[in-house]
Chain A
Amino acid sequence: MNPFRNLLARARAKSPWIYCCNAGSCNGCDIEVAACLGPRYDIEQIGALRQGSPKHADVLVVSGPVTRRSREALRAIYDQMPEPKAVVALGSCPASGNIFCGSPTVDAPLAELIPVDVYVPGCPPRPEAIVKGIARAAEILAEREEGGRR
């Protein structure tokens, strides 16, 4: 493996820029993500920055079940993110829909719409679990670079 790929893999692990998308959640997970940006849990210490534009992001953090209204928007946001990208599903809503499963307006699970790399269980997950999930997604991006896939 040449040193440039090594450096790039390391850079990908150390600089996961996130884009948070609320697909239809109750905001519980989003409030915990807001706690992650605060002084106590501080995701900037792992190099993560919250970006406003999906084009600037590497990791898509999705909270909430996929609703009929947010389905197309979520797909469009995922498509606009440049490769390489990873998806983190927060809580149990993107994993299965939780209590909303079976509702006519909910299209759970998220994995049917876009490929998911990390599931962070909890309802809502603790901020440290969210930070761990984002760090794991960054590792996955680095592993993909080392493995040769882009």
Chain B
Amino acid sequence: MGILHMLLANLGAARLTHRPAELPPPPPGFRGALKHAAASCTGCSACAYACSPGAITLTAGSDGRTFWNYDPGRCTFCARCAAICPTSALSLEALAPPLAGDAASGRLADAVPQRPCGGCGQLFTPLPAPTIARVYGDLVPAFIARNLCEECRRHAVSTAIKGEHR
């Protein structure tokens, strides 16, 4: 008679079903749609290296700019790209990625920022401020480090170190 008790209990109990509108949001830490902060991207390709399905690729544009490309149709939402990104430019928001009508929608192509160096004038990709603070500390003033390409930055840092020890 166990099934009879179960049926009677179910008849009196409330339904377990959530109406689509009243579903609770995904829990924190849920790996949903990928967000890319292009201002913090340095084009290092670590994310493309870490991505197993090849959803992230970095391509060269016709004008010499670098493009960060993402295809949610190939993404496994494993977040290894976000874990490996040195400048924390990638994050997965805790919301389910939206439905798509065709395979191409939702694809992203962000240009990696580039500007001429304050020292030598060559085009370079600036490091984001948190990375500079973490790497250089207060050896070199931040606004100088942000405007210099890697060569000029190295030169400025070594000058600052030699200057301190004199």
Contacts and interface: CB of A to CB of B under 8 A. Distances in A.
A and B touch in the complex (CB under 8 A): yes
Interface of A: 39-42, 45-46, 92, 95-99, 101, 109, 111, 116-123, 125-126, 128-129, 131-133, 135-136
Contacts, number: 86
B18 A40 contact: yes
A133 B20 CA distance: 12
B134 interface: no
B74 interface: yes
Contact of A118 (B26, B76, B96, B101): B101
Contacts of A97: 74
A45 B101 contact: no
A45 B23 CA distance: 14
B116 interface: no
Pick the 7 closest A-B CB pairs, nearest first.
A95-B73, A39-B16, A119-B100, A121-B97, A96-B74, A42-B17, A96-B73
B72 interface: yes
30 contacts: A39-B16, A45-B17, A45-B19, A46-B20, A92-B74, A92-B75, A92-B76, A95-B73, A95-B74, A96-B71, A96-B103, A97-B74, A98-B74, A98-B76, A99-B53, A118-B99, A119-B73, A119-B99, A119-B101, A119-B102, A119-B103, A121-B75, A121-B100, A122-B77, A123-B76, A128-B96, A129-B97, A132-B20, A132-B99, A133-B99
B4 to A, nearest CB: 19
B52 interface: yes
B103 A128 contact: no
Indicate the member of B15, B26, B53 with the most A CB atoms within 10 Å. B53
Contacts of A119: 73, 99-103
Contacts of B17: 39-42, 45
Nearest to A95: B73
Nearest to A135: B20
Contacts of A121: 33, 72-73, 75, 97-100, 106
A95 B103 CA distance: 6
B40 to A, nearest CB: 24
B103 A111 contact: yes
Given A117-B101, A131-B20, 18 more contacts: A39-B17, A41-B17, A41-B18, A92-B75, A95-B73, A95-B103, A96-B71, A98-B76, A101-B54, A109-B73, A121-B72, A121-B73, A121-B75, A121-B100, A123-B75, A123-B77, A126-B96, A136-B99
